[in-house]
């Protein structure tokens, strides 16, 4: 797969869950694989798996030391395309978005989703390119988690992440996390959203388990 990517693309986006258990040695293994087989600019966000062992900062350092651009409320421009990225968070979609009401624990949960959305908005505001790509781990719309059990939808993403997309004229959105979701959907402002979770890609397009986007 890595060699396919190296010959097919100009840039590689990694939509989180770069490790299984959030261990630094897993990140080092990934960096070794990428440096051997993919000589392209690489932009990434972390996923929830990368936080599992509390070593997310070390993982981020390993990746950045290898030249990978890790976005966390940051923006990055290559030629005429701008990239904004955050991990995102859970919380549900549409009328089901969880609100900050009741117990302090619920408010903390909602605050995390709001904070990730504000980071995304800040990153988009700094871009000066006409073409803008958003890189997330969690889904910003329900359409790309369709296929997952309905009861876990709220844990696969949050509609709050969709709010800045139309406001800043985003060209496309890429995310992971929903392993049994749908390959693509559209935001309420008709922005294409692509689910590139590796298990989903391997199941639906086994001959090419990655997505090629022309921006």
Helices (H), 66-205: 104-126, 163-167, 198-204
Tokens coding 66? 């290898």
Same domain, yes or no, for 32 and 128? no
State the DSSP H helix or E strand holding residue 135, giving kind and residue range, or none if neither: strand 131-135
Is 29 a domain residue? Answer: yes
Same domain, yes or no, for 62 and 143? no
Is 97 a domain residue? Answer: yes
Provide the pLDDT for residue 36. 87
Same domain, yes or no, for 143 and 77? yes
pTM for this entry: 0.97
Same domain, yes or no, for 128 and 147? yes
Q: Which of 49, 70, 91 is the last residue of a domain?
A: 70
Dihedral of CA atoms 194, 78, 129, 145 in degrees, nearest 10, equals 10
Q: Give the model confidence (pLDDT) of 76-123 as tens digits.
A: 999 899 999 999 999 999 999 999 999 999 999 999 999 999 999 999
Report the pLDDT averaged over residues 28-39.
92
Tokens coding 173? 């959105």
Q: What's the N-to-C CA distance of the chain in angstroms?
A: 21
Q: 4: domain range?
A: 1-70
According to DSSP, the β-strands at 69-70 and 74-78 are unpaired
Domains identified in the chain, total number: 2
Q: Give the model confidence (pLDDT) of 107-163 as tens digits.
A: 999 999 999 999 999 999 999 999 999 999 999 999 999 999 999 999 999 999 999
Same domain, yes or no, for 80 and 41? no
Same domain, yes or no, for 64 and 78? no
Write the CATH number for 121.
3.30.750
Provide the pLDDT for residue 186. 98
Same domain, yes or no, for 183 and 81? yes
Write the CATH number for 57.
3.60.21.40
Same domain, yes or no, for 137 and 190? yes
């Amino acid at each position: 797969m890595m060699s396919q990517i190296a010959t097919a693309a100009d840039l590689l986006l990694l939509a989180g869950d770069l490790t299984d258990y959030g261990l630094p040695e897993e990140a080092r293994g990934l960096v070794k694989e990428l440096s051997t087989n993919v000589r392209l600019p690489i932009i990434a966000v972390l996923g929830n798996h990368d936080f599992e062992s509390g070593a997310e900062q070390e993982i981020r350092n390993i990746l950045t030391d290898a030249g990978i651009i890790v976005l966390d409320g940051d923006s990055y421009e290559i030629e005429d395309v701008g990239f904004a990225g955050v991990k995102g968070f859970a919380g549900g979609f549409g009328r089901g978005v969880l609100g900050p009401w009741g117990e302090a624990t619920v408010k903390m949960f909602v605050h995390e989703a709001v904070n990730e959305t504000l980071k995304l908005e800040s990153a988009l505001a700094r871009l000066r390119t006409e073409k803008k790509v958003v890189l997330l781990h969690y889904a910003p719309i329900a359409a790309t988690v369709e296929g997952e059990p309905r009861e876990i939808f709220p844990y696969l993403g949050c509609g709050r992440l969709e709010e800045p997309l139309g406001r800043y004229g985003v060209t496309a959105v890429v995310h992971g996390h929903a392993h049994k979701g749908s390959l693509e959907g559209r935001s309420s402002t008709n922005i294409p959203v692509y689910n590139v979770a590796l298990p989903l890609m391997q199941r639906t397009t086994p001959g090419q388990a990655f997505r090629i986007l022309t921006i």
